[in-house]
Amino acid sequence: MFLNELKPAPGSKKKFKRLGRGIGSGKGKTCGKGHKGQKARAGGYHKVGFEGGQMPIQRRIPKSGFKSRTALYREEIYLADLEKLSTNEIDFSVLLAAGIIRRVTKDVKIIASGTVTKALIIRGIPMTAGARELIIAAQGKVEA
């Protein structure tokens, strides 16, 4: 292959439209811009959401709320929920099988609400400092 044999990939080069070159070209006179008006002028475009000077809809409607996109995949469970389980060894799969967390859940955190009487062994589930203290006080273990 030589430099003089190099060619652009087929379809990568588009032919330039020659505007305003007579009625027979199909793009003469108004050059495909219609008749008059803001969009027919040079530089005749406006910003997104502009409504011709009228107060735009995003400013007319009051601000409201926020819905977290990650909240769907996060859940908090209480010590009282763990107390109800029949097993003492608890990890993510045990919670899923017991129906304490939903199938779409990706992140779980244990919150210190309720009491612990069983010696629980928690594996791979983050928890609050208070929950950790209560589990350890009940002769339980927390494994990373």
Q: What is the pLDDT of residues 7-26, one digit of tens each?
A: 999 999 999 999 999 999 99
**At residue 34, does pLDDT exceed 80?**
yes
pLDDT range class, residue 58, cuts 50, 70, 90 = very high
The answer to whether residue 38 is domain-embedded is no
The answer as to whether 33 is a domain residue is no
Contact indicator for 121, 132 with CB cutoff of 8 Å: no
Residue 64 has pLDDT above 80, yes or no: yes
Distance in angstroms (rounded) separating the CA atoms of residues 115 and 57: 52
Instruction: Say if residues 110 and 100 touch (Cβ distance below 8 Å).
Output: no
Residue-wise pLDDT for 106-129, tens only, equals 999 999 988 898 899 999 999 999
Q: Quick check: is 94 in a domain?
A: yes
Alpha helices in the chain (DSSP H): 57-60, 79-84, 92-98, 129-137
Judge whether 24 lies within some domain. no
Residue 80 is assigned to a structural domain of this protein: yes
Q: Is there a domain that residue 8 lies in?
A: no
User: Does the residue 98 lie in any domain?
Assistant: yes
Looking only at the bridges linking them, the beta strands covering 121-123 and 89-90 are: parallel
pLDDT-derived band of residue 1, with 50, 70 and 90 as boundaries?
Answer: confident
DSSP 68: -
Evaluate if residue 52 carries a pLDDT over 90.
Answer: no
Distance CA 26, CA 32 (A): 8
Considering the domain boundaries, does residue 49 fall inside one? no
Q: Using a pLDDT cut of 90, give the percent of the chain over it.
A: 73
Query: What pLDDT, on a 0 to 100 scale, did the predictor assign at position 108?
Result: 95
Question: For the chain, how many structural domains are there in total?
Answer: 1
Write out the residue range of the structural domain in which residue 89 sits. Answer: 71-143
Residue 110 CA: distances (Å) to CA of 18, 71, 78, 116: 68, 16, 6, 12
Task: Extract the tokens encoding 44.
Answer: 């005749």
CATH number at residue 104: 3.100.10.10
Indicate the pTM of the whole model.
Answer: 0.54
Q: Whole-number mean pLDDT of the chain?
A: 92
